Amino acid sequence: PLLLFSGRKFDIRQWVIVKSIMPLRIFLFSDCYLRLCNRMYDLSDLRDRERHISNWQVNKLGRNIVEGGVASLDDFRTELHEITGRPEFWEEEMLPQVKDIVVQAVRAAERQLIPRNESFELYGFDLMVDETMRMWLLEVNLSPGCEGRTPFLHDMLERMSQRLVEVAVLGREEPDGQLPDWIKICDDQLEGNTLRAEAEAARQPLPERPAA
């Protein structure tokens, strides 16, 4: 069963920069937000997409929109605290899962990604949470929509885009002392020649199977 937020199905939108494929270099934005379904979750009503789809391009046309169909990470932290009794549950249990999912997903697609010098890509990772607090990757969006439809989302986007240019274009990768910020979660360049060799080997074509 899925974890619900105030009775609604949701997923988590997490922004990610892939600055280099070979060597692999990944940055995670330290803030994220929840995308909420418009109506209360109800498995007995599978025809009502407003109960089951959290995509804003669908929900913005609905009749039951609540606060732009989003909730902040701070709101989610409060909810997790109430459920678990642990104020740092996001940082201690959920965030490590997010980082691991992002890195493993990008590594799984390395063979399909073409390395280009002086380039980067912004991705929107959508994740779901079940009642055991295990996170699941729903999908990865290329060039995700960035619409500041609530005050907190507007401020987050402004900060995200400002630091994105500084990190990905100007090379100012070290945190500037303000939050939220882009945090490096994978850098094969700093982890030795062994990892780089393994990653290069993983990009080689698979050997053909002998005919049966």
Q: 170, 194 in Cβ contact below 8 A? A: no
pLDDT score of 199: 52
Compute the distance between CA of residue 36 and CA of residue 54 in angstroms, rounded to an integer: 5
Record the tokens describing residue 134, joined without a space.
Answer: 């295990």
- Name the residue with tokens 């990604």: 113
The model's pLDDT over 96-143, given as tens digits with 9 standing for 90+, comes to 999 999 999 999 998 888 888 889 999 999 999 999 999 999 999 998
> Does residue 192 have a pLDDT over 70?
no
d(CA 115, CA 112): 10
Instruction: Note whether 122 and 143 are within 8 A (CB).
Output: yes
Instruction: Note the pLDDT of residue 193.
Output: 45
Residues 6+ apart with CB under 8 A from 24: 18, 106, 107, 110, 186, 187, 188, 199
Q: Which residues have a Cβ under 8 Å from the Cβ of 205 and sit 6 or more positions away?
A: none
- Residue 113: closest CA among 4, 211, 203: 203
Omega before residue 205 within 30° of 0, cis: no
Three-state DSSP at 31 gives coil
What does the alpha-carbon distance between residue 155 and residue 153 come to, in Å, rounded to a whole number?
5
Mean of the pLDDT values across residues 79-102? 97
Q: How many helices (H) and strands (E) does the chain have?
A: 7, 7
- For 5-47, what is each residue's pLDDT tens digit? 988 899 999 999 999 998 999 999 999 999 998 777 777 677 7
Torsion of CA 100, 104, 106, 107, to 10 degrees: 140
Q: Chain-wide mean pLDDT for the chain?
A: 86
